[in-house]
Structure 1
Amino acid sequence: MLQFINQLLHKSIQSISPCLLCGIDQQKKHSLCNDCWAQLPWYKQYIERHQQKILCAHRYDFPIDRIIQVYKYEQQLHYQNLLAQSLLNLSLPKIQAIVPMPISNDRLKERGYNQMLIIAKIMARQLNIPVWQPIIREAQHSQKGLSRIERLENIEYQFKIIKTEKRKFKKILIIDDVVTTGSSIHALTHALENLGCQQIYNACIAAAL
């Protein structure tokens, strides 16, 4: 009942709230007006990184690049629905669970939240599937100046399986905000394969093309 009331209140607020970008027209389900939504730098295609396909919602161009930055680093959490709906607007495969890209405890303390976990929860509610977090990420180090092989090895060691995790899913979707080299998704995929996942799909909000 409480969830139903919250959804009703959310829809009522949306019906009188202006678009998050232009501030003029009425926002819709995705928190933008229809014109601003249509003018986002949509890509909606697969990119390939490390022999893995990643379904990408947007090019990493304005205004998505700025929206992701302020959402991620400046606690502008009112953009969470826009970013979640960008992923939900893709032709996603049928999956059993969503795996948000983990962040280290240091990053969590620094930001106060895992930006992709928030988005994963919105998506999970709409898709009626669970959010699954069977992997933790240890200290994240800078990748600058590293070769491709060194970059992959550095990230591989960051992802650790939570041994107490009892749930198992075979078909899962990894989600991330921005993909550049794809090293993080590659390493997380490898860890999930060690857990027995057989069909691992990947999606990102934006990619540097």
Structure 2
Amino acid sequence: MYFLGPLLEWLRDLSNGRILNFHLVELSIFSLDKTIIYMIALLVIQASYLIYKKRKQDNFTINWFRELVKFVFVTYMILLVHLTVLRYDWMWWQDSFNWHRSFDELNWVPLVDTIKLTKGSTFSYWYNFFGNILWFMPFGLVVPYIFRMKHAFFKTLFWGLMFSLSIETMQFYLETGVSHIDDVIFNGAGVILGYLMYDVLQIGHMYFKRRRNNNG
């Protein structure tokens, strides 16, 4: 770890074995630690691009809110890949894709394993169900805004499912997680909910804008 090692050690001492599923806390901190490196690189790239555009176009104006949303969204995607695929101390140069794996090892049948979780660990069930939905809600919420898409429900859902399938594929061939059709289904549900939130925000924005114009 590069940045958050002391924080992880402090949390380990603080928990002292009292926190169940502490491995999720460890995974989150490991993933965030590696994401920080990409955040720094992303800031440099984004700042360089804006400076270049400003010098090339005198009338170029920077929408700081939009740039912030872009930065947060890319950071979110990187963090999600680290949480689901490139876990803990995994490094690109330490492993390779295992192309020999058979598709028979994939979990193709939907919802069977999720239903089984209801008879076992309650935490595992809720984490698997709600976690996969919540993690993909930002995708459905932000993608239409960043790319300025209108009436783009199916486009947003398509790219959300492609991102989810990419994660499952990397998990499968890198053997860093369990690839399951349920994850794709719940991720897709998260994209849909996120897009509905985007629509609600758009309607609210248009409503207040119309009221402001009428009162103005």
* TM-score normalised per structure 1: 0.27
| Bigger Rg, which one | 2
* TM-score normalised per structure 2: 0.26
